[in-house]
Structure 1
Amino acid sequence: MSMTPPPGWYRDPSYPLVERWWDGAAWTDHRRQPEQPVPIPVPPAGQDPQLAPQSAAEPRRSGGPKRAKAVALATAAVVLVAAIVTGAVVLGRDDDGGGAEARTTTAAASDSKDASPSPSASASKSAQADDPSTVVDDLNGITLALPDGWVRPENVAEDDLVMITPGTYDCPGDPGLCRRGRVFSRTVTSNDEKSPKALAENDIEDAANDTYDRGVLDERPYSGIKSHQVVKSGSVAVGSRAGYFVRWQVTTGAGPGGYVESLAFASTVGSQSMILVRFAFDAGADGPPVSDMDRITKGIKPVGDEAGSSGGVGSSIGTGR
């Protein structure tokens, strides 16, 4: 049995000082001042209600206690109906889930349509979040395309990790498990540097050491870095922003070594903080192709940019191996 009240004027659940039109299914934007009930003076304790003094603003009306009782009942009825309307809006239909209940409550409590989120922006963000070929980094306001052979990280303890190659193997140096490919995305908070070139050049050594030299527990999964060489560096378009990257090839004490890249660019959201994306790929036949660094970079877009805005700034990233 439905508890939805019929159309009519009821107390606005988001602003009870006015009445709002309920069309039988949802609140509309029509509001009005309520018809104020006549105030009934309350006599002091022990005084005969018939002898109570009258309000100076309101002459005595006929009916005495009967009138007071009628007004009190009418007021109680208004409050009760408003409560039923609010409850019906909150509860919704019986077959709605918890998410539907939350959405309905938010809609009923809103004072204006402007307070609601943009349907197109919400739909775009939701579509990207549900796309299995895309990783959404809400903190930095970007999405990254997942190339073939890459997956979203799950049950992985490393911070800022946005994509990985599936599977692990025994590290060639100190005991532990290593992974062939990892991509990180992090916000620059350590300094106020705004130059993508300076950020990338200053970060590349840390990026190499964090992956191939020493781990968080001071272990050396690859027996340390023995040497490195710059493979490529330069300007690159990242979404609608100019970025800069530096790519190293490192030789390790154990194992095939690897390729490391630091990519820096400005976010398009919030305070437009600088973002660093780090790439760490094992070298050798079992490692991911270095060209995936290019593909991932070209697939970076601002959140909500379904059409894509990459290109037109800087140069392309050059060839992989």
Structure 2
Amino acid sequence: MTPPPGWYPDPSAPSVQRWWDGTGWTEHRQPPAEAPIPAPVPVPVPGGDGSGRRARLVALTLAGVVLVASIVTGVVVLGGGDGTTDPKARDSTSGEPSSSGASPHENTPSPSATSEPAADDPAVVVDELNGITLPLLDGWVRPKFTTDDSMVMSTDGTYDCPGDSGVCRHGAVMSRTVTANDEKSPRVLALKDIEDAADDWYDRDSIDRRPFNGITSHQRVKAGQVAVAGRTGYYVRWRVKTELGPGGYVQSLAFPSSVGTESMVIVRYVFDAGSDGPPLADMDRITKGIRSVNDADTGGGVGQSMEPLPTP
């Protein structure tokens, strides 16, 4: 028996709640909701007024809650640690940001970690981990369920992948923190990430499916410096052709975060080509609208607050 997906007390930190996806713990946590004080369990009194049945119902409900909590704890203990192992996760010294190893296409959904709306602006997506907000343009939504917890937004709706089984999205934007190395050059990071960004979406995903039967060719169509939230960044954009489907456009954008230790951040964009894909200009609109979570008025966009990039 395994408990259903839901928020449960974190075994490693009982003061917070953690998301159980039905098979293991994810990294999603939230403050615990204030639990109401349970009403006393009534003692059944013969008399045919139904109080005995109500008492048994309350007792069975409380017993079920205790059973679910016990099963969750038992699975964690038997699985070792917090159960968040991922044999497909990539963390090399080649300069690419660490990937969650989850398929960018739908399989077993889990809640997204970085797609919460701003409290005072529903048209903005907040990525607290990387210290940025991104504009939510028309035609884009916060993904409620996704196998890639770095996805911050996607186009609305899905379609059947033309290759291997599964459903695909016409567009998505993901953000990651670079943790695999100490590289600080946005240009170097963007150039090293772009191939992985294309492969992960259009060639072969992390669970070895080929949603478009693989990439047949690619061409660099754009690259250069860009200011992101007042910081100097660099982006690379490819046009990718696939064996099945119209192919698409992939962009890797690298820039330093303005919060915490100012770690380098990679934002990936994947847009299907053709009439069903999102407007290519949305890549520039989203980039220009990225802001620091600490300063909503921080400037961004091409040509603002530029600084020379070091030669790699």
Paired residue secondary structure (1:207): helix
Contact 1:236 / 1:313 at 8 angstroms: preserved in 2? no
Task: Say whether 1:212 aligns with 2:196.
Answer: no
Paired residue secondary structure (1:133): strand
TM-score by length of 1: 0.58
Task: Say whether 1:187 aligns with 2:177.
Answer: yes
TM-superposed CA distance for 1:175, in Å, is 1.3
Q: What amino acid does structure 2 have at the position aligned with 1:251? A: K
TM-score by length of 2: 0.59
TM-superposed CA distance for 1:304, in Å, is 3.2
Task: Say whether 1:308 aligns with 2:298.
Answer: yes
Larger fraction in strand: 2
2:284: which partner in 1?
294
- 219, 224, 233: which one aligns with 1:234: 224
Aligned-residue CA RMSD (Å): 1.9
1:79: which partner in 2?
none
Tell me, which stretches of 5 or more residues in structure 2 are unaligned? 1-32, 36-115, 308-312
Larger fraction in helix: 1
Moved over 6 A (4+): none
Work out the CA distance in 1 between the residues paired with 2:159 and 2:239. 21
Deviations 1:165-211 (A, max 9, x none): 01000101111101000000000001110000000001000000000
The aligned length equals 193
Contact 1:151 / 1:164 at 8 angstroms: preserved in 2? yes
Structure (1 or 2) with the larger CA radius of gyration: 1
2:57: which partner in 1?
none
Contact 1:129 / 1:135 at 8 angstroms: preserved in 2? no
Task: Say whether 1:148 aligns with 2:160.
Answer: no
Work out the CA distance in 1 between the residues paired with 2:154 and 2:169. 8
TM-superposed CA distance for 1:270, in Å, is 0.7
2:41: which partner in 1?
none
Contact 2:117 / 2:126 at 8 angstroms: preserved in 1? no
Q: What amino acid does structure 1 have at the position aligned with 2:192? A: N
TM-superposed CA distance for 1:130, in Å, is 4.5
Task: Say whether 1:202 aligns with 2:192.
Answer: yes
Work out the CA distance in 1 between the residues paired with 2:242 and 2:306. 33
Q: What amino acid does structure 2 have at the position aligned with 1:268? A: S
TM-superposed CA distance for 1:272, in Å, is 0.3
Identity %, equivalent residues:
62
1:129: which partner in 2?
119
Contact 1:129 / 1:136 at 8 angstroms: preserved in 2? no
Work out the CA distance in 2 between the residues paired with 1:127 and 1:171. 29
- 225, 241, 261: which one aligns with 2:215: 225
Contact 1:256 / 1:282 at 8 angstroms: preserved in 2? yes
Tell me, which stretches of 5 or more residues in structure 1 are unaligned? 1-96, 100-125, 316-321
Task: Say whether 1:177 aligns with 2:139.
Answer: no
Q: What amino acid does structure 2 have at the position aligned with 1:188? A: V
1:82: which partner in 2?
none
- 269, 273, 277: which one aligns with 2:263: 273
Shift in CA distance, 303/297, structure 1 to aligned 2, threshold 3 Å = same
Work out the CA distance in 2 between the residues paired with 1:249 and 1:129. 36
Contact 2:117 / 2:124 at 8 angstroms: preserved in 1? no
Q: How does 1:227-266 map to 2 (within 5 A)?
A: 227-266=217-256
Work out the CA distance in 1 between the residues paired with 2:199 and 2:240. 10
Q: What amino acid does structure 2 have at the position aligned with 1:205? A: E
Work out the CA distance in 1 between the residues paired with 2:200 and 2:224. 22
